[in-house]
Structure 1
Amino acid sequence: MLFKVFSKLALVLCFVSVQALAYQIPLNDARSVRTKQQIGTVFMSQPTIADYKVINERQIVVFGSSIGQTRLMIYDVDGRLIISRLVDVTQPLNHVRAEVNKRYPELNIEIAPMGAKVAVNGVVFTEKERDGLYALVANMLGLEKAERWGSTVNMEFPEPMTGDPEAEFYRNYTYEGIIEGLELNSPFQVNVRTTIATVGSEFSETIGVDWTSGGAPGVFTFPNMTASDLSATITALSNDNLAEVLAEPNITVLSGEEASFLVGGEIPMITNDTNGTTITFKEYGIGLDIAAKVKNENEIRLKVQPSVSVVDQILSTTSAEVPQLSTRRATTTIEIADGQTFMIGGLMNSEDIESLQKIPLLGDIPFFGALFSKSVTNRKTSEVVIIATVNLVKPTQADSLTIPRIHKTNTFARWLGMSREFSERNQQDAELVQLMDNGGFAQ
């Protein structure tokens, strides 16, 4: 008897739980609802979201008109409630799921409705796959692209650069109506090893550089040369006053983010107005701004802006002395593969230096002084050259790092051939030097 009571109670609870489930109806779709009792009255709380049509005394059809939730309540002819269900009208996603599975069969992507929005979840291997999935879902649902201001990267570039829509490759975007849940299996990190040098007019002839080769004017790539190789060439030429290395920044940046480098300082700029004196600071020196976007190992897009600024002269006013900066800056966007090197040139600067040599007293005689003097004009031309090597890197494990040490030996140990341990330690130090040459990252 007790067993029958529990059985009936379980059936009642099961019936209640089933009745409590919501009807999931895609937008502009419909489903049939049947009852065992004869239908007397049908009530829909939000007819603009979902409505119904009576088919016969025990069957109705519910159809979705707009995205949202409403409640369906059905009473029998005696006024007893027989069905009370939420009706959830969602985006139709079957065609989207089919297209995603067709284009990305190797990925396990889940697309589910979340009220008026659509959640896209899963794990992808590249940012190109992630961005492509979001764009595919958005285009198939007619959703608009929007900028996610909370996490947008804003680099301190001049107005012509930030105003260029093509320059926004590194920014983070979202789509109205999409809940982004895709995760990268292993986020890419880009190491840019850069050499910034100033060279004389004879430098290009010395190394045989043709600035017109390659794609964009002043920018070309070296398939088999690294920044270290060209930096060594510049260092060697510096002995002949042909070149000078200004800085060698080694910057690592996460894909989709930006990094900056500055060696210099800040100059106070004084302005006077009716409210008093205002002091602002202007940066000067050698700067480098980099933004990276990795599609795959053979498609690394970089936006690079190097700048070199120095104090040219001091302008004196009635109230203050204002420094004037001489700046050379370049901005370029390139696409390069892992391990390749590119060069930026063409940042020229020319100075004319005039000097007068004369014999004292005789050179000051009017008209005849020119016979005892000599005027010399020298033109000094310099150019800023930026060489950079791009590598995809990953952090090095802590247990693989070795602290450099000096291992002392003596003549007696070397004479007896007891330097094997010393050789092994030297090998470890050589591996450490190689690691540091890579910027502290394992390639």
Structure 2
Amino acid sequence: MTSIRVFENAFAGQVRKIAVTAVLLGLAAGIGRTQSAEDLRITVGKSIVIDYPGDIRQISTSDPTIVDASPVTTREILMSGKGLGSATMVVWSKADQRMFYNVTVELNLEPLRRILQDTFPDEKIDLHSSRDSITLNGTVSNKDIADRAVALSATFAKTVVNNLTVASPIEKQILLRVKFAELDRSKAQQFGVNFASTGALHTIGTISTGQFNSGSVSSNAGSSTLSVTDALNIFAFRPDLNIATFIKDLETNNVLQILAEPNLVTTNGKEANFLVGGEFPVPILQGVGAAGAVTIQFKEFGIRLLFTPIMTANKTIKLALRQEVSTIDFANAVTLQGFVIPALSTRRAETNVELTEGQTFVVAGLMDNRETTALTKLPVISSIPVLGSLFKSKIENKNNTELVMLVTPEVTEALGANDPKPQPYFPQEFLKRMGPEDVPAAKSKAKTKK
């Protein structure tokens, strides 16, 4: 058996032991005078001590500039890596037996490996050396890190092979939670609905469009005089304010009706749109005169929302928002060649706002005022002058509503390739096994028996 002990050259040629003994197959008794070659790998600046199975007579190396070998005792050989490359070492014993060693001297990668690990602790970079070259393998998060890793490696070797892969960045996604609501202005004034009155610690401000005169907000939110119906404003709420409870209370009192609750997701800087409604046909006359053909074109109506989010360096979200609510209006319909073409009653608002994640803002002031008259009468009798007025009635209704939109943006990220997949979660109480003593009926029966 041939054993090898590893050492490292210190300053001024001193030898320091750095590893434990490693075992190699050696020359066995009864086998011929020449043993097959053994492969050894050492690094530049390190030394190994080989325990030879017999008494050493002579040692020779093919390139002393790469490998230096000398006997230490009659059965120990000190071999040192001098330069990069490969060489062959031959050892003769006094029993006239030969042993060949194919020695490869490589770069010492441990210092570079420690530097890369300290500099880029979150990256996975593997190092391999081949003579005077270093190969970098693995995946890094961006190109800048790959370039810096190559630059650091170039100080240790003449040639650096860059096999690093730059991972594709995971784009941030913006989730927009939207509530379209229609507010009864008459009931809102009756109940004293005030979006600006949110508590002394949550006093907010408004941004008026100038379309209507804005109210005033005092420092004491309880005495605020601004109502949601006073102006077309943008109301910004703090994330810790429970707006959902306030909206639910308005729904319970029939002051507010939720029209739609879409959740829209898009990547940074990309537009997303939402439409709930339908399309109605509109005849379009092609050509001039009676010879012109009539084609049908469909127009969209309903609730539409378009938004484009942009993440800023300050981790805020800029939103370019457009909302629109359109309904078919037969009261203003027109007739064209026997076709009744209804009009569209549209309420639209466009705004740009910047806010933090989880903050809710409200766009209000899209008002719709309608007056309807319902006439009820008895046939024939109601047409009699003077007397006929007793047999007919007219009811006038005034409907004053306002469209309100509440928007809450949130930032989401897609799962990476190595991220754990979320698993269904059930509370422990849900899976708890119940015994007969846990059932109220069983408890009452047990007490009766006692």
Give TM class, smaller chain.
Answer: 0.3 to 0.5
Given the two structures, how large is their TM-score scaled by the length of structure 1? Answer: 0.46
Which one has the largest radius of gyration?
A: 2
More strand by share: 2
More helix by percentage: 1
TM-score when scaled to structure 2? Answer: 0.45
